[in-house]
Amino acid sequence: MRDLLRFAVSRFREAGLVFGHGTSNAYDEAAYLILHALHLPLDTLEPFLDARLTATEREAVLELLKRRVRERRPAAYLTREAWLGDFRFYVDERVIVPRSFIAELLREQLAPWVADPGAVRAALDLCTGSGCLAILLAHAFPEAQVDAADLSDDALEVASRNVSDYGLADRVRLVRSDLFEALGESRYDVIVSNPPYVAQASMEALPPEYLHEPQQALAGGPDGLQFVRRILAQARRHLNPGGLLVVEIGHNREALEEAFPNLPFVWPETSAGDRHVFLLHYEDLSAG
Closest CA to 95 of 6, 228, 212, 227: 212
Instruction: Supply the pLDDT for residue 245.
Output: 98
Residues 60, 62, 63, 64: is their CA dihedral positive or negative?
positive
Q: What span, in angstroms and rounded, lies between the C-alpha atoms of 154 and 166? A: 19
* Band of pLDDT at residue 257, cut at 50, 70 and 90: very high
State yes or no: pLDDT of 256 exceeds 50: yes
Q: Bridge-partner residues for 122, per DSSP?
A: 145
Q: What is the pLDDT of residues 56-109, one digit of tens each?
A: 999 999 999 999 999 999 999 999 999 999 999 999 999 999 999 999 999 999
Closest CA to 96 of 122, 77, 115, 71: 77
Q: In a 3-state reduction of DSSP, which class is residue 120?
A: coil
pTM over 0.85: yes
- Cβ–Cβ < 8 Å for 196, 220: yes
Residues 258, 261, 133, 194: is their CA dihedral positive or negative?
negative
Say how many Å lie between the first and final Cα of the chain, rounded: 56
Q: Which residues contact 244 (CB under 8 A, 6 or more apart)?
A: 110, 113, 114, 189, 190, 191, 279, 280, 281, 282
Mean pLDDT of the chain: 96
Q: What span, in angstroms and rounded, lies between the C-alpha atoms of 285 and 265? A: 10
Instruction: Supply the pLDDT for residue 288.
Output: 46
Element (H, E) at 239: strand 239-248
Burial environment of residue 228 by CB neighbours within 10 A (0 to 12, 13 to 18, 19 or more): buried
- Cβ–Cβ < 8 Å for 64, 37: yes
Name the maximum alpha-carbon separation found in the chain: 65
Convert 91-102 to b/e letters by CB count within 10 Å (16 or more is b). beebbbbbbbbb
Q: What is the pLDDT of residues 190-235, one digit of tens each?
A: 999 999 999 999 999 999 999 999 999 999 999 999 999 999 999 9
Q: Which residues contact 269 (CB under 8 A, 6 or more apart)?
A: none
